[in-house]
């Protein structure tokens, strides 16, 4: 049963004060309703401690309700936030792009992802672009009023006109002058045609999404062995007969063709019309390359002697089948790459992909067909994923973060459906890992205990434990989360808004000084000056934290934020001595946005292999993009290599994104298209 508050707990007030308490309570509630949104102090009209305690509890509950509302609902990205009492101008967003503090009211939820309650993973994990802030709001009150320079086009801007890239394939269409306009309406004379150089030229973009059925017509040759020597004829027939025994498609060796991409491993077919004898067929065990490998040499000799007595034979040779990464696949390798891009980069559900193809291509592709295609290609992508995972250990700086992922199937030892999708982004690889745990065991498993470098992460205990037990790891904490603490403390509590504004402005000033330092990183004269300014600002910020902690009337939310900053100050200041270390962990946050989007669109995965396949595809796609490769073209290029090798290639080094030479990028169209000069007409 919930305990009720009595007068004795607050000084032993007698029951005769009940009427006074009721009057005080009504007065306090009235004052709370009128003054809290403006941030004024809440005072009780009387001196009753019971009413004072109730008012304090009411403020706490109201703050907690505002925080929970912000965590659950977030905010709409289309809505612009404005400062209380200031002009409602679009662009005065919460992330402080104008250098001012966001609206910290319970009625206007704050930026999604800035939630309370430690690291609550059910919140949206939006990246905070703090670099937009330019100075301390306490020092620049003009920006705090929302009048600073903002991003985007200004009013009256004429724009850029029609932007048509000139790297698209061109289709020239001639439009003739209609017959009724080719003759002058007054004189009846026909107009004289001008050369094409004088014609009017205009252009537009025509988007075509099509599905094509590829029909392969494979050439077939006929061989008559009557004019061949007996030895040659016997060898051909032995190969033909042995192939007919082992498979339904006999084979004949062919050479590599660089133009068509056909390898000698995919041999031509031979059909002897069933005329070749096949003695000793039970001794044939395997086929390799383009001929038959007989298990016993005696069987070969016996078969050759029999064939020499058989006389001339007729054979038919067919062109080889096109190379496929998975035999008898319904979809081509390019189609598989497109489906992977739709599913794991755009986070589209399979049913939505099927609807898109049906509407745009008049082609119905069942979701179950896509699932089977993914499952058949899983082993090929897993080999590339494991090779990339080996490379992630060789880092000097890495961004690590995790978010929840739902796996809707029962497993032994797991009572819930919630798993964790980790991202580990180093200089070469963006590795996604799906694991049941959120503990440091995942870091030890994938990064190991013999690594050296800086790990940018949040303040979760898993990262702290990993840094304590691995001597070569230096943990750098995220300033975006540090700023988020002040926003969280002021949500629903109007009394803390001015205090939060001042601190957010100071953090923006650190971002600005660090940005100025990076601009002169290679300048031997300007860099020491910028470095000294940053160090002085960091020192001043630390002294301000200690001074505020010594204040007697500090709110619990304020003390919690400031004490957390003191505890994590060593990790927060790693970037000061190493300019290449970023202030925040926004890179990992942005890489997890696709996970949050997928979680919203199709909730999660429903099989163990499907969850691991999600990590494979995300790793390959994001790593390819990091190295300037178009992901669909890169996946197709890798699958073609698998098709030529008859499976996973033995040597994966030439196929890694950072090892692909420019000429292959150009040949396969793997380079990401950059913005071309606008072509307007």
Q: How confident is the model at residue 23, as a pLDDT?
A: 60
pLDDT at 566 over 90: yes
Q: What is the mean pLDDT of the segment spanning 280-287?
A: 37
Of 30, 53, 73, the one marking the end of a domain is 73
Q: Are the CB atoms for 558 and 548 separated by under 8 Å?
A: yes
Q: Is residue 69 part of a domain?
A: yes
DSSP, res 130: G
Rounded-to-5 percentages of helix, strand, coil across the chain? 45, 10, 45
Residue 24's pLDDT band (boundaries 50, 70, 90)? low
Q: Check pLDDT > 70 for residue 483.
A: yes
Residue 129 lies in a domain: no
Confidence label for 47 from pLDDT (cuts 50, 70 and 90): low
Structural domain includes residue 304? yes
User: Comparing C-alpha atoms, which of 43, 50, 45, 42 is closest to residue 17?
Assistant: 50
Question: What average pLDDT does the chain have?
Answer: 77
- Which 3-state string (H, E, C) describes 393-444? CCCCEEEEEEEEEEECCCECCECCCEEEEEEEECCCCEEEEEECCCCCHHHH
Residue 442 has pLDDT above 90, yes or no: yes
pLDDT in tens, 587-639: 999 999 999 999 999 999 999 999 999 999 999 999 999 999 999 999 999 99
Two structure tokens written together for 120: 């609550």
> Which letter, b or e, does each residue of 71-97 get, where b requires 16 or more Cβ atoms within 10 Å of its Cβ?
beebbeeeeebbbeeeeeeeebbbbbb
Q: C-alpha distances in angstroms, 14 versus 7, 85, 589, 645? A: 7, 44, 57, 91
Residue 522 lies in a domain: yes
Tell me if 261 is assigned to some domain: yes
Range in 52-56, 60-64, 604-608 the model is least confident about:
52-56
Half-sphere exposure (Cβ direction) of 363: Cα atoms closer than 13 Å: 13
- End position of a domain, from candidates 58, 73, 88: 73
Which of 390, 456, 399, 463 is CA-nearest to residue 427? 399
Query: Is the Cβ–Cβ distance between 99 and 134 less than 8 Å?
Result: yes
pLDDT score of 271: 47
Residue 249 inside a domain? The answer is yes
What is the residue range of 58's domain? 7-73
pTM, full prediction: 0.71
Last residue within a domain, chosen from 73, 93, 114:
73
The reply to whether 98 falls in a domain is no
Tokens of 660: 């692909």
Residue 415 belongs to a domain: no
Number of domains making up the chain: 3
* CA angle 573–579–583, rounded 5-degree value: 50
Helix (H), strand (E) at residue 455: strand 453-457
DSSP 8-state class, residue 176: P
Strands 453-457 and 397-407, how do they pair?
Answer: parallel
Give 252's pLDDT tier (boundaries 50, 70, 90): very low
Q: Is the dihedral of CA 467, 468, 471, 474 positive or negative?
A: positive
- Are 51 and 62 in contact, with CB atoms under 8 Å apart? no
């Amino acid at each position: 049963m919930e305990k009720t508050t009595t007068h004795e707990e607050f000084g032993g007030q007698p029951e005769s004060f009940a009427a006074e308490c009721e009057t005080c309570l009504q007065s306090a509630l009235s004052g709370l309703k009128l003054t809290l949104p403006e941030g004024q102090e809440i005072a009780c009209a009387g001196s009753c401690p019971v009413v004072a305690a109730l008012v304090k509890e009411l403020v706490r509950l109201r703050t907690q309700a505002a925080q929970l509302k912000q965590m659950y609902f977030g905010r709409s990205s289309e809505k612009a936030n404005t400062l209380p009492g200031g002009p409602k101008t679009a662009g005065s967003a919460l992330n402080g792009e104008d250098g001012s503090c966001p609206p910290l009211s319970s009625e206007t939820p704050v930026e999604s992802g800035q939630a309370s309650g430690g690291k609550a993973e059910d919140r949206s994990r939006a990246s905070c672009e703090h670099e937009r802030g330019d100075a301390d709001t306490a020092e620049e009150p003009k920006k705090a009023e929302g009048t600073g320079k903002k991003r985007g086009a200004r009013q009256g801007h004429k724009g850029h006109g029609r932007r048509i890239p000139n790297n698209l394939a061109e289709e020239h269409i001639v439009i003739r002058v209609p017959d009724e306009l080719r003759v002058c309406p007054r004189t009846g004379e026909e107009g004289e045609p001008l050369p094409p150089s004088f014609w009017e030229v205009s252009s537009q973009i025509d988007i075509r999404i099509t599905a094509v059925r590829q029909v392969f017509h494979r050439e077939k040759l006929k061989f008559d062995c009557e004019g061949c020597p007996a030895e040659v004829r016997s060898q051909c027939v032995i190969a033909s007969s042995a192939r007919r025994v082992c498979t339904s498609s006999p084979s004949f060796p062919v050479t590599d063709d660089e133009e068509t991409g056909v390898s000698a491993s995919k041999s031509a077919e031979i059909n002897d019309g069933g005329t070749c004898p096949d003695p000793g067929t039970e001794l044939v065990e395997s086929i390799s390359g383009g001929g038959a490998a007989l298990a016993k040499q005696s069987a070969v000799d016996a078969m050759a002697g029999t064939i020499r007595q058989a006389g001339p034979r007729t054979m038919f040779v067919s062109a080889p089948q096109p190379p496929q990464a998975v035999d008898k696949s319904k979809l081509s390798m390019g189609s598989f790459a497109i489906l992977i891009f739709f599913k794991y980069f755009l986070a589209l559900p399979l049913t939505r992909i099927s609807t898109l193809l049906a509407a745009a291509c008049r082609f119905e592709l069942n979701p179950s067909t896509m699932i089977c295609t993914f499952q058949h290609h899983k082993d090929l992508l897993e080999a590339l994923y494991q090779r990339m995972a080996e490379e992630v250990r060789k880092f000097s700086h890495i961004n690590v973060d995790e978010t929840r992922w739902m796996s809707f199937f029962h497993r032994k030892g797991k009572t819930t459906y919630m798993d964790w999708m980790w991202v580990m982004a180093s200089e070469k690889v963006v590795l996604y890992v799906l694991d049941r745990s959120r503990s440091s065991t995942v870091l030890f498993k994938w990064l190991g205990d013999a690594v050296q470098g800086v790990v940018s992460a949040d303040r979760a205990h898993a990262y702290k434990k990993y840094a304590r037990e691995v001597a070569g790891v230096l943990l750098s904490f995220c300033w975006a989360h540090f700023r988020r603490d002040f926003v969280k403390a002021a949500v629903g509590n109007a009394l803390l808004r001015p205090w939060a504004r001042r601190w957010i402005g100071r953090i923006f000033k650190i971002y600005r000084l660090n940005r100025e330092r990076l601009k002169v990183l290679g300048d031997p004269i300007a860099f020491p000056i910028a470095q000294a300014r940053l160090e002085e600002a960091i020192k001043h910020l630390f002294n301000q934290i200690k001074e505020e902690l010594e204040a007697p009337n500090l709110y619990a939310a304020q003390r919690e934020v400031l004490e957390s900053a003191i505890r994590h100050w060593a990790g927060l200041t790693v970037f000061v001595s190493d300019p290449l270390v970023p202030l925040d962990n926004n890179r990992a946050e942005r890489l997890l946005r696709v996970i949050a989007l997928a979680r919203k669109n199709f909730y999660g995965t429903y099989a163990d292999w499907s969850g691991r396949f999600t990590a494979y595809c995300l790793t390959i796609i994001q790593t390819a993009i990091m190295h300037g490769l178009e992901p669909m073209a890169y996946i197709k290029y890798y699958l073609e290599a698998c098709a030529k090798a008859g499976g996973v290639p033995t040597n994966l080094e030439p196929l890694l994104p950072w090892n692909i030479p420019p000429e292959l990028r150009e040949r396969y169209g793997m380079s990401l298209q950059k913005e071309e000069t606008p072509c307007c007409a």
